[in-house]
Chain A
Amino acid sequence: MQVSIVRNVMSDNLKRILLEACVLIAFGALFGLTINNRLVLDVFAGRLVPQHLIENVENELPENAALVLPMPVLLDEVQQLMTEGGLLVDARSPELFEEGHIEGAISLPLVDIETVLPDFSRRVDKDRTVVTYCSGFGCPDSFDLGMQLVEAGYSDVRVFEGGYPEWRDAGLAVAGEGQ
């Protein structure tokens, strides 16, 4: 009799502890989602260029200026553009590019843009479709590089905001020393 009472009490205790642990996890997760709601919504809605970056650019432009922004593209669109002669451009540092990059991409590091852009402009036609990428959602370099290319006169610039991580995780062809 006493043993079964002890067992019942222990079982109730364990249930209560597990329930409290679930509440703790749910509360923590909910708190995290509340704080990072913008990032998570951007990722799940496929809004490839984070909204705050676009707002920053809009604020910097004069009111009457034509708003020309690099167009965001999804993974399957990037593949399509590649087959149609589009050029993939890696905005990350040369070290990261050497370590691993999308096969067929060329390096145009944003950190050295002033040095490398003149040579890039000489080699790549202004009307060619250029797709920039960097280290995934939240990485602003691809968007910033896209803006630099638009300013340099490129008429069809796209941003693949999923970047190298999304491409690699999809099992598509990559190149570099780390591969």
Chain B
Amino acid sequence: MSRVEWLFYHLCRLILALVFVYAGAVKIQDVVAFAGHVAAYQILPYAMNYLVAATLPYVEFLAGVLLLLNVRVRPALVAIGGMTLVFMAALVSVLLRGLDIDCGCFDPAGGEDVSAGVALLRDVGLMALVALTWFMRSRLTTRSAKCETRGEKTLKAR
């Protein structure tokens, strides 16, 4: 992996990390408001919206922190990718039912409303970033493994 690729990997990782740490942190600040946004999707039974609101932001935050620390990167990417896919499915269902709601992705307590269409496009971008980071991370890991194998062989030859 060249230096440019190495830098690109860390850039992708940090962007994803900051997005999810921020998304998780603002929702943790106001769980009830976030539950209101989840309820607006009209997918889950009423009480389940609160269960999702009480747990999802913490998973987002934790996955973001792991990415930020460059620890357990691929498990964090799987979790983030899985959550993003679920968000995308929910947004597609909102678009199909013609609901005019704010996605509640980043600022459940207020701020600018983001439509389901815009949120879906953003999630497509995030999924691309997840795939790219996974690919680069795998290359980095394979290369490290090869270097280790070569090192062991050299030591044995000596």
Residues of A within 8 A of B (CB): 17-18, 20-21, 23-25, 27-29, 31-33, 35-36, 39-40, 43-44, 135-139, 162, 165-166, 168-170, 178
Contacts and interface: CB of A to CB of B under 8 A. Distances in A.
Given A21-B82, A24-B72, A138 B54 contact: no
Contacts of A20: 72, 74-75
A24 B62 contact: yes
Given A24-B62, A165-B39, 19 more contacts: A18-B78, A20-B75, A24-B63, A24-B75, A25-B82, A27-B62, A28-B63, A29-B58, A31-B58, A32-B58, A35-B58, A36-B54, A43-B47, A44-B51, A135-B36, A136-B39, A137-B32, A137-B50, A169-B45
B66 interface: yes
A32 B56 CA distance: 8
8 contacts: A20-B72, A24-B63, A32-B55, A36-B31, A39-B50, A136-B35, A162-B46, A169-B42
Contacts of B75: 17-18, 20-21, 23-24
Interface in B52-87: 54-63, 66, 72, 74-76, 78-79, 82
Contacts of B62: 24, 27-28, 31
A80 B117 CA distance: 40
B59 A138 contact: no
A32 B82 CA distance: 18
B14 to A, nearest CB: 19
Contacts, number: 89
Contacts of B31: 36, 39, 138
Contact of B32 (A28, A29, A138, A166): A138
A137 B79 contact: no
B97 to A, nearest CB: 13
Given A44-B47, A138-B32, A28 B55 contact: yes
A170 B45 CA distance: 9
Nearest to B59: A28
Nearest to A18: B78
Given A17-B78, A24-B75, A166 B59 contact: no
